Homo-oligomer: A and B are copies of this chain.
């Protein structure tokens, strides 16, 4: 873990304590892959690779005299890379045994191994910690909304005295929306890799190429990066088949087809999310007309976003511009979102009519003006922006023109 990453963790930790103070929260508990990583600096393979949630806990305390506690199964904990000065590790047994034949760690666990992950055991360790720290009757914030129903039941059973389980979702959203210098560095790289992937795939596009072929080229491009970055998603559509799919179309493209890239690359757990649209040969009049209206909205957002502006104001203005530019029926839940850890690509705050957040320096947000039409296809521009002290820095460098291939 380099110094920038350490500093990032310090900054989060301090800001988390401020929020916990103001909301009277004694312990903030992360259970999802993203928030466990955010608080611990450790990407859990059980959570990311095996897609399990509630198999590890990162517990942050309001009391600055307390180290954060990381609760993990003993198998995965053997590879925890965090700083021992900052974190204390507590373990619970899982189905995998860890032996210690040379007595390097002081003997191995002898009890019965469970068949599969045991949330009860893990929350039992949490209860012990809360008791030791004298806050077993305190106020704890957990990711109630995201947790599995069975985990919420197990948590309530294991920690019966806790006076209130508060929803941690809004706290994490507020924390994560403001990026540290280390996070901005990862997102810049993720954006650059995604653009390089689009450029590479575009160069390989030949008449008749299919969506599956373009996805393959995009994935091959990422294999050239030195740091194991992987695609997070590649919603690539060709022609009028605009729906998001997991199994890509092998249908050959035809002259006039639009080709939409909506792609993201992961760097150190941070994902980019950008989009560009191309056309095979000459675009149809409808395509040109729609593209132009979307771009006017996009340009207006780029021009107007600045610190202090309410996100809902950006939504309203962007929608008005697009409607006035000819797409009078344009409809949409949001015109952008914060970017970072979320595996679902989009995360709050949203550039939406119901958002109460304002743009602030060191936010990284995506602005997007997507259009999907039966008989037309997908047409979209999406940029990532870093909010600066007095405006925005666009992280993308590809042209926003509708380029003919």
Contact = CB atoms under 8 A, between A and B. Distances in A.
Interface of A: 43-46, 48-52, 75-81, 94-102, 104-105, 108-110, 113-116, 144-152, 212, 215-216, 219-220, 223, 228, 233, 235, 241-248, 268-269, 286, 329-334, 343-346, 348, 350, 352, 354-355, 370-376
Nearest to A79: B243
A51 B99 contact: no
B228 A99 contact: no
B148 A147 contact: yes
A144 B256 CA distance: 47
A121 to B, nearest CB: 12
Contact of A51 (B330, B344, B371): B344
B145 A148 contact: yes
A235 B350 contact: no
Contact of A97 (B80, B330, B346): B330
A184 B81 CA distance: 40
Task: Rank and list the top 8 A-B pairs by shortest CB-CB distance, nearest first.
Answer: A79-B243, A95-B333, A113-B333, A43-B246, A45-B244, A97-B331, A99-B373, A78-B243
A374 B99 contact: yes
7 contacts: A79-B242, A113-B331, A115-B333, A115-B350, A146-B150, A147-B148, A216-B228
Given A95-B333, A247-B268, 17 more contacts: A43-B247, A75-B243, A77-B243, A79-B244, A95-B332, A96-B333, A99-B372, A101-B373, A102-B376, A108-B329, A110-B331, A115-B333, A115-B355, A116-B333, A144-B149, A145-B150, A215-B228
Given A50-B344, A51-B51, A113-B333, A99 B148 contact: no
Contacts of A370: 96
Of A96, A216, A220, most buried by chain B (CB within 10 Å of CB) is A96
B372 A49 contact: no
B331 A115 contact: no
Given A98-B373, A109-B331, A374-B104, A246 B116 contact: no
Given A99-B374, A244-B46, A374-B78, A115 B354 contact: yes
Nearest to A331: B97
Given A115-B350, A115-B352, A149-B145, A100 B334 contact: no
B242 A78 contact: yes
A379 to B, nearest CB: 10
A75 B244 contact: yes
A332 B96 contact: yes
Contacts of A76: 243-244
Contacts of A75: 243-244, 372
A49 B376 contact: no
Given A99-B374, A374-B78, A235 B329 contact: no
